[in-house]
Chains A and B, each alone.
Chain A
Amino acid sequence: MPSLGADMEAGTLVEWLKRPGDRVKRGDIVAVVETQKGAIEVDIFEEGVIERWLVEPGTTVPVGTPLALIAGAEPATVASAAEVPATVMPSPAPAAPPSVSPLLEPRTEVGRPRVSPAARRLAAERGIALDRLTGSGPEGAILYADVERAAAGTALRHAAPKRLDLAEMRRAIAAAMARSKREIPHYYLSTTIELTPCLVWLETTNATRPPAQRLLLAALLLKAVARALGEAPEFNGFFTAEGFQPGTAIHIGTAIAIRGGGLIAPAIRNADKLALDELMAQLRDLVSRARSGALRSSELSDPTITVTNLGERSVETVFGVIYPPQVALVGFGMPVERPWTAGGQVVARRVISATLAADHRASDGHRGALFLADIDRRLQSPEKL
């Protein structure tokens, strides 16, 4: 069961979209799970053949519970003790331990049972004492199936799941934000950015395009943040027990308001590398799927930073609350027309407020200021985004 946020404790398997024996590759959608954030499609991170399901539809299991066994290149039926199929953890939480090795741990202590890593992990998750188990593997090694048998019956069974439960989503937001304000020493910076170059560029660009191809200001803002993050890695990543871990890529969580209340911030992956048109297409797709409740698990666990964009019909400035374990949030307010000085004259210009909420454990205000200023600089040359 993938973790779709620091606040998620459990999820309900709704349905399997593949069958045992099916070959799967990274990115394939294998299941739908019901969470506090609605129904989420689980995309897989491994390649192989589905050996079997470990969780039945309708079952609620804690985060981290293996959902399926995926065999590697070799068919699992011929797997020897040294080739126990790896347990698949689709879309692990950012702070999760490294993926499971298919090899058995070497025997390190006399009298201590050999245990496959998958079995050890399952036992830890379910609170099963390994020394009370009898292994069915070679030399009495405890296999995954042994722990599974011991753990059987611990999962709760629930009625048919629903789509998007706003009360549940509110609880998820409450848990994540309470943790953020409890643990993260936020600092805040704010600046005002002149929008004329962006607006003129958008007007010219959109004038020759049909509506389906048009760009929104939001796409320019996201791209500017993504590009600026390339030079400011201390705002992109996760803060874990080991300290700050810079992200290996730039996946921008994009806050999307849900009609009726609540919000969700799925990732636009590798936003720094996407052309503006591609970024816009992904943004459109994400907004539509976020509102219909059809996001993928990796989109919720991947974001390395969040951008919130108040849009029109709003207020000038937003000061964000960081979404743990991320370390920064960039907020854009409503574009407004304000007196502005240019060439010694006061003129009316469209401007937007940009703010940074950042984790003081990972960065300092000086670096934050440079980062915000870099976003501003990039927005003055939208044609280069």
Chain B
Amino acid sequence: MTCKDLTAALIDELGRIAPETDASRLDPNAELREELDIDSMDFLNLVTALSERLKIDIPETDYSKLATFSHAVDYLVLRLGVAV
């Protein structure tokens, strides 16, 4: 999996949670929760979907590392050991 695949997976999962928004046009540095109006249930669903799709664990203590789109991509890259 490449960094591009990861980004696409993240956009896809965000689109499922906030279907009326175009996740590919997100400000990469804005807070996801604010930008997409997602609550703790949505966020848990996002983490669940990503961890199942990418076969990684995302501990609760790491949630803050997924706060923005660009941080989330960085975190997933690191977690999966993907070459950037």
Chain A residue at smallest Cβ distance from B59? A207
Q: Tell whether A211 pairs with B41 under 8 Å between CB atoms, given A259-B20, A260-B20.
A: no
Of A214, A259, A260, A312, the contact of B60 (CB 8 Å cutoff)? A214
* Interface residues on chain B, size class: 20 to 34
Closest to B47 in A: A211
CB atoms of A211 and B44 under 8 A apart: yes
Interface size in chain A (residues, C-beta < 8 A): 20
Question: Nearest chain B CB to A105's CB is how many angstroms away?
Answer: 50
- B19, B41, B58, B59: the one within 8 Å of A216 (CB): B41
Let me know if B57 and A210 touch, CB within 8 A.
Answer: yes
A206 contacts the other chain (CB 8 A): yes
Tell whether B34 is near chain A: CB-to-CB under 8 Å: yes
> Chain B: interface secondary structure?
helix
Across the interface, which residues of B come within 8 angstroms of A259, CB to CB? 18-20, 37
Closest to A208 in B: B59
Tell me if B64 counts as interface (CB < 8 A to partner A).
no
For A214, the chain B residues whose CB sits under 8 A away are 44, 60
Please give, as numbers and ranges, the residues of chain A lying within 8 Å of B59 by CB-CB distance: 207
CB distance from B35 to the nearest CB of A (A): 11
The one of B18, B19, B33, B45 that contacts A313, using a Cβ cutoff of 8 Å: B33
Q: Are B44 and A313 in contact (CB under 8 A)?
A: no
Task: Say whether A212 contacts B41, CB under 8 Å.
Answer: no
Chain A residues with CB under 8 A of B18? 259
Asked if B52 CB lies within 8 Å of chain A CBs, one says: yes
- Listed residue (A211, A216, A257, A284) with the most chain B CB atoms within 10 angstroms of its CB: A211
- 0/1 string, A170-211, CB within 8 A of B gives 1: 000000000000000000000000000000000100110011
Interface residues in B29-62 (C-beta closer than 8 Å to A): 33-34, 37, 39-41, 44-45, 47-48, 51-52, 57-61
Across the interface, which residues of A come within 8 angstroms of B58, CB to CB?
A: 211
Lowest 8 A-B CB distances belong to which pairs?
A211-B48, A211-B47, A206-B60, A311-B39, A212-B48, A211-B51, A287-B41, A216-B40
